[in-house]
Amino acid sequence: MRAFVISLLASTALIACSEVTQVVDDAQAQIETKTKRPVFEASAEGYTRSSEVDQLIKASLKSTYAYDITESLTTEIGPRVGGSPEEAKARQWAVAKFKEIGLENVRIEPFMMPYWERGIETAAIVSPNPQQLFITSLGGSVATPPEGIEAEIAYFPTFEDLKNAPEGGLDGKIVFISGRMKKAPDGAGYGPANQKRRQGATEAAKRGAIAVVIRSVGTDSHRFPHTGMMRYADDIKKIPIAALSAPDADQLERTLGRGETMTLKMTMTPQWKGQTESGNVIGDIVGSEKPEEIVLISGHLDSWDLGTGAIDDGAGIGISAGAAQVLIESGLKPKRTIRVVAFGAEEVGLLGGFAYAKKHKGESLNKHVLATESDFGAEPPYEVLSGVRSGKAVIEDMAKALNLPMSGRATNGGPDIGPMSREGVPTMRFQQEGTDYFDLHHTPDDTFDKIDADDMAKNTAAFTAMIWMASEAETDFRGDE
């Protein structure tokens, strides 16, 4: 990450003077964010953490288990799309690892899902200036005809511009939607940038277009396009949609900026392969005094297919399993049950999260006292978010124990926790540093080398402190305050 900042500084010589100042300021701001790494060796001033919490945090900071298990998953399984044979292999891997740690009641809760598989994906500018482009199909996209689609480009600088365009008028065209995503530590730019990915095909088809390319939803300038799930509306024609790498989107904009009519050719052969099995892998540390009450930590086991799913979300699996491993090895016995869940099929629509909430709805879900997920990369947390209805002081104590500030923002605990949160399960979340997360997210660059062992240990420390303190707390986090 530091190398990127330095190269950014080095490249400023090529840019006009006022822009240089801006770039240097931005780079400096990034360095400052990056150097404000949390130090968990001591708690916040004026707060003394319990000897158990202190012991767990110190053991976590020395532990390499979260890092090692993420290495194992990304190396021995690699990419693992929801519903694929590789995801099935990952479930067996998780069962074996959970048992190895010493988790009890290790089991898979299976569910069925529609399985989408990527095919060939190519694109090129046909005229003017013929040249290859780098694209990737968005998840769930239909294929082009086998011979591809060749058509004139209709350009929309932003998704809003497309939505404001009159219906009709794009007959036979390939729509190109640009629009850049802003970098932010908490990934705040993702939601707005993501709309074109989810709804771009529908809005373009309403106006007569036959295919869509979007500028990747990402913050890098590398030549890898970013995949991710898209959606069709039921009553609108389904047209193929792909993401262009950022430099390719720039290339289209420069060519269009010269006032030229542009023709593009694209060929994609993804397929829906029918219903296949996915599942959630679950393991418990059974509570010593209140075994029926559950504190849940999690990540998602599936990944996109382009990378090996290291930061998204091998790291979340590693952090959750790593925290359980440290707690078991410490010999401390939590009062409540600590549950580790490796959710299936998150990327393709939070299917594991919905399946879990459905299966456990009622008595069991009512006994889930606190739930969270790590699904924002491998960098350490910098603030704590509360989604509880009582006992917020306990969440604040978790923050103090780790010397982290509380955030004023709300949380539903993470993507797979959302469905159980809607059923009333209290949640919290550690906001991980994610300024660079969307440089890699859903690209072939999401690989293990991007993960730092010390960062994983810090994440493990946060999760061990959380599970212990939630287990010991008197509150059930559900009452009205």
Residue placing its CB nearer to Zn ion in the complex, 293 or 312? 312
Q: Which of 375, 433, 455, 476 binds Zn ion (CB under 5 A)?
A: 375
Minimum CB separation of residue 13 from Zn ion in Å reads 38
Q: Is 292 a catalytic residue?
A: no
Residue 336's H or E segment, with its range, is strand 336-343
Q: Per the residue annotation, which of 71, 121, 293, 346 is the catalytic one? A: 346
The β-bridge partners of 137 are 242
Under the binding rule (CB under 5 A), the answer on residue 87 touching Zn ion is: no
Minimum CB separation of residue 43 from Zn ion in Å reads 30
Minimum CB separation of residue 461 from Zn ion in Å reads 22
The β-bridge partners of 117 are 271
| β-strands 104-117, 271-285 pairing | antiparallel
Residue placing its CB nearer to Zn ion in the complex, 198 or 206? 198
Among positions 318-357, residues that touch Zn ion (CB under 5 A) are none
Residue placing its CB nearer to Zn ion in the complex, 220 or 375? 375
User: What residues contact 326, with CB distance under 8 A and at least 6 apart?
Assistant: 56, 59, 60, 63, 65, 460, 464
CA distance 294 to 328: 16
Rounded to the nearest 10 degrees, what angle do helices 392-401 and 453-472 cross at? Answer: 140
Residue placing its CB nearer to Zn ion in the complex, 82 or 179? 82
| Binding span for Zn ion by CB under 5 A among 259-267, 276-284, 368-376, 433-441 | 368-376
Residue placing its CB nearer to Zn ion in the complex, 293 or 375? 375
Task: Look at the block and give the residue holding tokens 């840019």.
Answer: 15
- Tell me the per-residue interface mask from 291 to 320 with Zn ion, x by CB under 5 A, - otherwise: ---------------------xx-------
Minimum CB separation of residue 312 from Zn ion in Å reads 4
Minimum CB separation of residue 230 from Zn ion in Å reads 16
| DSSP line for 109-173 | EEEEEEEEE---EEEEEEESS-EEE-EEEPBTPPPPPTT-EEEEEEEESSHHHHHHSPSS--TTP
CA distance 221 to 223: 7
Token representation of residue 61? 């900071």
Strand blocks (E) in 158-313: 174-177, 211-215, 241-244, 263-268, 271-285, 290-300
Closest CA to 199 of 243, 158, 250, 233: 233
Residue placing its CB nearer to Zn ion in the complex, 375 or 455? 375
Minimum CB separation of residue 212 from Zn ion in Å reads 24
Q: How many residues lie near Zn ion (CB under 5 A)?
A: 3
The binding site for Zn ion (CB under 5 A) comprises: 312-313, 375
**Which residues are marked as active site?**
346
